Amino acid sequence: MPHVEIKCYPGRTEEQKKKCADKIAEDIAEVLGCDISSVSVAIKEIPAEEWKEKVWEVDITPNEKYLYVKPGYTCE
């Protein structure tokens, strides 16, 4: 059912990533009315120098119409 993929700069601990994933899974299950066992959350670390190429141009710009929360920055 719901799958969330988080892309962020490296530097968080495994504990921070686990806590983030758990909270997101709990919120999704509650808000969307599904069982938490149906939710999956992935966290991928992308180095800053690769962000524009691997995230901005691949995930953000082409999918702008699907973004419910848009970034407050640009990669120009």
pLDDT on residue 1: 85
Which residue ranges of the chain lie beneath pLDDT 70?
none
For the chain, the structural domain boundaries read 1-45, 49-76
Q: Could you give the CA distance from residue 2 to residue 32 in angstroms, rounded to a whole number? A: 9
Q: In the prediction, which pLDDT does 30 show?
A: 97
Of the residues 2, 10, 47, 71, only one is catalytic, namely: 2
10 annotated active-site: no
Per the CB < 8 A criterion, the answer to whether 69 and 63 are in contact is: no
Residue 62's pLDDT is: 97
1-45: in CATH 3.40.50.970: no
Tokens of 18: 């686990």
pLDDT digits (tens, 9 = 90+) for 11-32: 999 999 999 999 999 999 999 9
Residue position matching structure tokens 């495994």: 14
Residue 32, pLDDT score? 97
Cα torsion angle, 9, 15, 21, 26, sign = negative
